[in-house]
């Protein structure tokens, strides 16, 4: 049987990077085995529906290069792939469970449920829940007579359908990441499968759809592991073969203390969403990897290694190489700590592999935003000179902007340390040397300037740093005598004279 996997997000907000990683591992697994990758939207909980979230999810996955064979946006043999459009399909499956005595009607009002919880809490029950201890004391079709149940249904009394957790000692399932997982059945509650609004809950819709869509492997986040025993019991109750399960380790905050959550947003100084997101209700904007300047391939490479390792020292992987190398056996059980420096490192590696022309295009685009229209060849030369120092394309302007615009102000700390009044006549003299030579004489200029510094016993560092401050505005950039020929001797001298007049 060929492999079929699905990524099944709920459109309750922007997709978290942990969700992107889940989609990625599903994709890598499917592609490695020549299988099918499906995007199903799980939107049965209308109270948590957020407009725009589904489009956001699709756009994010497209940006990442994660492709789908079937799904809400590409169609396929199991259309519709959006659960709200499948709503009418679930009822018959609920009826099957009701008829088989594996599920029951429950009429309890929110107040009655609350009273039950209080009653149990008062008795010292740590985790009060609707289960085999209390079900016979509640308003449900197990406890009430069949006439009464029929009467209530006829009269339109609202009800839910609950799953009757069987009286087993334990439930065991096999997880491809964790091995055997066993829970005591007594800890499980009689989960609602079907709500009073006529919609299935996540659990029912998820299991029914995975079955109908012939999903062979359920690869999802660890937060769903507690639901897996219930799902496994549901498959058994339906008489269906359960898919294989693989629960992925959590993405942790950089200090390892807890799960990296949506709310961490920009609080920790890096995005937790692939694309920028504007909350439709509050207007609050959360940053995204795309807008922060990450290259999608670098972002994916970085994410792939958060929770999986190839078993070798190799760190740089194209999507094809990831597909080739991926295996569920090498997914770790331990949570993976997020490391933003590593994310930046990956971006730098990918930027290093981009050609000068692509980077120059990026720099030209940045300049156009600033209404600057430089000569392309000149911009390309600047790109070549500063690209080593760039992590993001936008750094090309930060690192090389002074080639296009004279400094508007000078770094105060550098000025205080390097710019000394007694050196001013010497800087004046060096400006003169520059003016009397041609731009092509880079090396000769260096010689002449150094000779002058030596003959007059001047502090080399201070003089050179002062010239740098005049040309660049701060203490950064490549060798001064690479900067000067590119700026041109006249422009360089003019910048030195301007600094002399101002500082």
The region of 6-14, 50-58, 115-123, 486-494 touching ligand GLU under the rule CB under 6 A is 6-14
Which structure tokens are listed for 469? 């401050």
User: Should residue 4 be labelled a site residue for ligand GLU when binding is judged by CB under 6 A?
Assistant: no
Q: How far is the CB of 340 from ligand GLU (least distance, A)?
A: 24
Q: Which of 262, 337, 394, 474 is catalytic?
A: 262
The enclosing H or E element of 80 equals none
Nearer to ligand GLU, 31 or 220 (CB): 220
As measured in angstroms, the least distance from the Cβ of 208 to ligand GLU is 12
- Beta carbons of 241 and 235 less than 8 angstroms apart: yes
Smallest gap from Cβ 47 to ligand GLU, in A, equals 14
Rounded Cα–Cα distance for residues 81 and 73 (Å) = 9
Q: Residue 55 to residues 16, 79, 380, 394: CA-CA distances in angstroms?
A: 14, 18, 37, 27
Q: How far is the CB of 221 from ligand GLU (least distance, A)?
A: 7
- For every residue of 450-478, DSSP letters joined together read HHHHHHTT--HHHHHHHHHHHHHSSS-SS
* CB neighbours of residue 134 within 10 Å: 18
**Positions 21 through 60 that interact with ligand GLU (CB under 6 A):** 42
8 binds ligand GLU (CB under 6 A): yes
Instruction: Check if 262 is active-site.
Output: yes
Radius of gyration of the chain (CA): 32
Q: Do 147 and 216 touch, CB atoms closer than 8 A?
A: no
The correct pick among 4, 16, 164, 220 for binding ligand GLU (CB under 6 A) is 220
Cβ closer to ligand GLU: 195 or 424? 195
Give me the least distance between CB of 328 and ligand GLU, in Å please.
Answer: 15
- Minimum separation from the CB atom of position 127 to ligand GLU (A): 23
- Residue 401 tokens, joined: 């902007």
Is the CB of 141 or the CB of 206 nearer to ligand GLU? 206
Cβ–Cβ < 8 Å for 253, 243: no
User: Of residues 3, 132, 224, 497, which one binds ligand GLU by CB under 6 A?
Assistant: 224
Q: Exposure string (b/e) for 39-67, b if CB count within 10 Å is 16 or more?
A: bbbbbbbeeeebeebbebbbebbebbebe
The 3-state DSSP class for residue 331 equals strand
**46 versus 444: smaller Cβ distance to ligand GLU:** 46
Other Cβ atoms less than 10 A from the Cβ of 118: the count is: 11
Instruction: Dig out the tokens for 426 from the structure.
Output: 């010497």
Binding flag, residue 206, ligand GLU (CB under 6 A):
yes
**Cβ proximity to ligand GLU, 206 vs 383, nearer residue:** 206
Which is nearer to ligand GLU, 42 or 108 (by Cβ)?
42
Residues carrying an active site annotation? 262
* Residues engaged in binding ligand GLU (CB under 6 A): 8-10, 42, 202, 206, 220, 224
């Amino acid at each position: 049987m060929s492999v079929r996997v699905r990524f099944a997000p709920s459109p309750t907000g922007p997709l978290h990077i942990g969700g992107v990683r889940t989609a990625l591992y599903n994709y890598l697994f499917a592609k490695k085995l020549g299988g099918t990758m499906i995007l199903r939207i799980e939107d049965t909980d209308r109270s948590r529906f957020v407009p725009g979230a589904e489009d956001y999810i699709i756009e994010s996955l497209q940006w990442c290069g994660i492709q789908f064979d079937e799904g809400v946006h590409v169609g396929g043999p199991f259309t519709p792939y959006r659960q709200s459009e499948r709503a009418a399909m679930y009822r018959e499956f609920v009826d099957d469970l009701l008829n088989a005595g594996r599920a029951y009607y429950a009429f309890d009002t929110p107040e009655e449920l609350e009273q039950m919880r209080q009653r149990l809490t008062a008795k010292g029950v740590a985790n009060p829940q609707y289960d085999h201890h209390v079900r016979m004391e509640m308003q449900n079709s197990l406890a009430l007579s069949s006439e009464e149940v029929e009467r209530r249904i006829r009269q339109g009394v609202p009800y839910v359908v609950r799953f009757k957790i069987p009286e087993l000692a334990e439930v065991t399932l096999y997880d491809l990441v964790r091995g055997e997982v066993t829970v005591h059945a007594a800890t499980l509650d009689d989960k609602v499968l079907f709500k009073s609004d006529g919609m299935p809950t996540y659990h029912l819709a998820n299991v029914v759809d995975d079955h109908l869509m012939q999903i062979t492997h359920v690869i999802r986040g660890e937060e769903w592991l507690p639901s897996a025993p219930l799902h496994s019991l549901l498959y058994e109750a339906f008489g269906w073969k359960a898919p294989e399960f693989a629960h992925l380790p959590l993405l942790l905050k950089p200090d390892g203390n807890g799960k990296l959550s949506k709310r961490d947003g920009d609080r920790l100084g890096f995005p937790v969403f692939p694309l920028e997101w504007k909350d439709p209700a509050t207007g609050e904007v959360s940053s995204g990897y795309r807008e922060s300047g990450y290259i999608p391939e670098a972002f994916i490479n970085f994410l792939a290694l958060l929770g999986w390792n190839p078993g070798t020292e190799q760190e740089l992987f194209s999507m094809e190489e990831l597909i080739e190398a991926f295996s569920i056996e090498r997914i770790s059980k331990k949570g993976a700590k997020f490391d933003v420096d590593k994310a930046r490192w990956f971006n730098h590696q990918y930027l290093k592999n981009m050609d000068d022309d692509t980077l120059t295009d990026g720099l030209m685009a940045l300049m156009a935003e600033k209404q600057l229209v430089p000569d392309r060849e000149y911009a390309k030369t600047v790109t070549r000179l500063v690209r080593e120092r760039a992590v993001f394309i936008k750094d090309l302007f930060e690192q090389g902007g002074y080639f296009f615009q004279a400094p508007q102000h000078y770094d105060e700390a550098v000025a205080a340390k390097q710019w000394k009044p007694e050196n001013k006549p010497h800087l004046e003299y060096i400006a003169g040397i520059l003016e009397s030579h041609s731009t092509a004489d880079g090396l000769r200029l260096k010689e002449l300037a150094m000779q002058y510094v030596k003959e007059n016993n001047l502090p080399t560092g201070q003089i050179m740093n002062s010239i740098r401050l005049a040309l660049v505005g701060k203490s950064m950039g490549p060798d001064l005598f690479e900067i000067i020929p590119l700026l041109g001797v006249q422009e360089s001298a003019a910048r030195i004279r301007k600094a002399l007049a101002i500082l």
